[in-house]
């Protein structure tokens, strides 16, 4: 049995979801003075004709590789490393994190009145073994008028979030229906995460 897991994510929501299932964890995130081999933003670039499923699993694997290198470079205590990544897809179009308020507005206009998919991949490195899982949910947005979109963008909440919204925030007022994993839409599917942790020897 492992006493803790490293979480390679700065997301407070992912930390809270791990705490919810009683998993002790330590953060293993990039620091300003880290000689990271690749810019984290560059990891999130979509390849030509790449599906949302392939994309989110590939990016999660790359982020986990970077975290493993980080652990070795810092000479930290050995323990399993957990990584997760979430993406939003509308049809064949992948919606990442908006780079501006204007881009956030465009994403929300595209999602308004439609159903989209939220994919969250989970990867756990335990010794030489890599365990992975994928959660796919669908979210139906009510129609948002331009004033509602402007007010939501002005709140600042869309920035830094795939698809320009957070399910646990103000956007919930416009989410008509969810099918799948609520915690997966938040960024860490608890059921799938618990399964990979169990497979690695954690008691849950």
User: Residue written as tokens 């989110």?
Assistant: 56
| Alpha carbon distance 2, 110 (integer Å) | 44
Instruction: Out of 34, 39, 54, 85, pick the active-site residue.
Output: 85
Tell me whether residue 85 is one of the annotated catalytic residues: yes
Q: Output DSSP code: residue 143.
A: P
C-alpha–C-alpha distance, residues 199 and 48, integer Å: 34
Nearest to 115 by CA among 154, 153, 163, 147: 163
Classify 170 as helix, strand or coil: helix
* Active site residue ranges: 85
């Amino acid at each position: 049995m492992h006493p803790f897991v490293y979480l390679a994510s700065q997301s407070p929501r992912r930390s809270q979801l791990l705490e919810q299932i009683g998993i002790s964890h330590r953060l293993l995130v990039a620091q300003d003075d880290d000689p990271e081999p690749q810019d984290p933003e560059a990891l999130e670039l979509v390849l030509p004709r790449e599906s949302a499923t392939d994309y989110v699993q590939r990016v999660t694997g790359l982020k986990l590789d970077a975290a493993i290198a980080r652990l070795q470079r810092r000479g930290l205590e050995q323990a399993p490393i957990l990584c997760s990544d979430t993406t939003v897809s509308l049809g064949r179009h992948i919606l990442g994190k908006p780079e501006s308020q204007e881009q956030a507005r465009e994403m929300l206009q595209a999602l308004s009145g439609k159903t989209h998919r939220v994919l969250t991949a989970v990867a756990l490195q335990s010794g030489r073994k890599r365990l992975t899982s994928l959660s796919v949910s669908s979210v139906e947005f009510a129609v948002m008028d331009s004033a509602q979109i402007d007010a939501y963008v002005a709140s600042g909440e869309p920035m830094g979030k795939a698809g320009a919204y957070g399910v646990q925030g103000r956007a919930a007022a416009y989410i008509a229906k969810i099918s799948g994993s609520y915690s997966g839409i938040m960024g860490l599917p608890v059921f799938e995460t618990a399964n990979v942790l169990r497979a690695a020897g954690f008691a849950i």
